[in-house]
Structure 1
Amino acid sequence: MDISEVVKRSGLPASTLRFYEEKGLIASLGQQGERRRFAPQVLEQLALIGLGQSAGFSLDEIGLMFTANGQMNIDRQALLAKADELDATIRTLKAMSNGLRHAAVCPAPDHAQCPTFQRLLKAAAQGTPTRRSRPKHLKTGRGRP
């Protein structure tokens, strides 16, 4: 299939396809006139590249997921390591979300008087978000800071 068909079916611009080819992620079968031609499997390769990028893999890491002839060769340990990394990111984002939710509903007269919010600020300053899910006074419904 020529490059225009790959562009149409993948939704990627031709410049991206040429870049991926330069990086060794995909390979063209050659050119017919001025247009590159690709095997049908390139669409599956492009899908894996997109999925890998969405998961946070670098293009170099994604390149290791293909054999020299373009077949998939995915390292399961790399997938597990990336899943662990994503889980850590999710925990961090959840802690941030909980902190914002607490700040929005905290019954303290101001946030400077809220021990939970002060703990969140301290953790943020140290770059280590808290893991606590909800402040005790919001769990118990007693409404004290």
Structure 2
Amino acid sequence: MKLLDIGELARQSGVPPSTLRYYEDIGLIRSEGRHGLRRQYDAPVATQLALISLGKLAGFSLAEMRGMFGADGTPQLPRTELHLRADRLDAQIRDLTRLRDALRHVADCPAETHMDCPKFMRLMQFATRTAGSRRQR
């Protein structure tokens, strides 16, 4: 079994050594030992790091991702949670698309002032409601 030095794994994965040490400290990855003071990792850790990066992009916390790997580091992805996360992303995409379209309209609105533009007024009401719902979470 070929082990990767922490520096080599950092170069291959793009994850800084400090982050690799942190991930190991919180139980996301595991080193196989040390060569001198340098940690050594098994090659499949690179796959784990790719999954962690993907999970972060999808909005999973590190604590949530810790439960997505078996004791041996093999991925055990929760399909139901992945579907729920995808549904939330779809809703976020719809909301962002509406916001983008509204901003484009306001930028091109023929009204004399933005305060005379009905779409701008609805956009402000939406922003107020959204901010209020975020504070309640």
TM-score (structure 2 length as normaliser): 0.88
Q: Deviations over 1:47-90 (max 9, x none)?
A: 00011111111111111110011001000011111111111211
| Structure of higher CA gyration radius | 1
List 4+ stretches of structure 1 deviating above 4 A: none
Q: 1:19 aligns with which of 19, 22, 26?
A: 22
Matches of 1:123 and 1:3, distance apart in 2: 48
Does residue 1:44 correspond to 2:51, yes or no?
A: no
Determine the structure 1 residue equivalent to 2:65: 62
Give how far 1:14 is off: 0.9
Determine the structure 1 residue equivalent to 2:130: 127
Q: Deviations over 1:86-130 (max 9, x none)?
A: 1121122112111110111111122222222212211211228xx
Matches of 1:49 and 1:67, distance apart in 2: 14
Within 5 Å, give how 1:112-123 maps onto structure 2. Answer: 112-123=115-126
Q: Deviations over 1:28-47 (max 9, x none)?
A: 00112211111110100000
Aligned identity (percent) is 48
Question: 1:127 aligns to what SS in structure 2?
Answer: helix
Give how far 1:13 is off: 1.2
Give how far 1:27 is off: 0.2
Matches of 1:2 and 1:115, distance apart in 2: 60
Moved more, 110-119 or 51-60: 110-119
**Gap regions ≥5 residues in structure 1:** 129-145
Question: 2:75 aligns to what SS in structure 1?
Answer: coil
Determine the structure 1 residue equivalent to 2:100: 97
Matches of 1:14 and 1:124, distance apart in 2: 40
Aligned alpha-carbon RMSD (Å):
1.3
What count of residue pairs does the alignment treat as equivalent? 128
